[in-house]
Structure 1
Amino acid sequence: MGYFASLYASELPHRAVAVYMYLRDRADRDGKCYPAIGTIAAELKLSRSTVKRAIADLEKSGYLRKEQRWRENGGKSSCMYFLK
């Protein structure tokens, strides 16, 4: 069935599948990427809340890990996502 076989066979909602595929498409060889929630929402035509719920679903299921990134001045930047 291919690369996403376990994802398709999972009990994840369609929002989580869409967000995972988006992140996988933008990830580097190591499975890391850092798009902003707003960017993901705009490009997938989903609300920011839906994207946040999808990311929480993916974290809970073990498909990704997120880590907050910080700017030099101490402000928050976009999260770094590590895909598994």
Structure 2
Amino acid sequence: MGYFASLYASELPHRAVAVYMYLKDRADKDGKCYPAINTIAAELKLSRSTVKRAIGDLVKSGWIRKEQRWRENGGKSSCMYYVR
């Protein structure tokens, strides 16, 4: 099988598999990307809640790491995702 063989063999829900593949596709060579939840939801045609649950599933299972990013004025920005 290909690159995603272990992902397919995992017991992750299909929403998490779709979000992982989206993040992996947008990650740089170091595995980092920072799309907004709204962007992921719109491009995958999923709800914001579904994307949030999928990201939670991926973090809990160790497929990604999530880190909050901050703007210079102290406001929140989109999260940085580290894809393994």
Question: Same fold, TM exceeding 0.5?
Answer: yes
- Which consecutive segments of 4 or more residues in structure 1 shift more than 6 A? none
User: Counterpart in 2 of 1:78?
Assistant: 78
Which structure 2 residue ranges, 5 or more long, are not aligned? none
Residue of structure 2 in register with 1:36 after alignment: 36
Q: CA–CA distance in 1 between the matches of 2:9 and 2:61?
A: 12
| Distance in structure 2 (CA, Å) of the matches to 1:49 and 1:32 | 22
Which runs of structure 2 are paired with 1:8-23 in the superposition (5 Å)? 8-23=8-23
Query: So what's the TM-score if we normalise by structure 2?
Result: 0.99
TM-score where L is the length of structure 1: 0.99
Count matched residues.
84
Counterpart residue number, 1:65: 65
Letter matched to residue 48 of structure 1:
R
Alignment identity in percent?
88
Cα shift at 1:60: 0.6
1:5 and 2:9 matched: no
How far residue 48 of structure 1 moved from its aligned partner, in angstroms, is 0.2
Cα shift at 1:24: 0.4
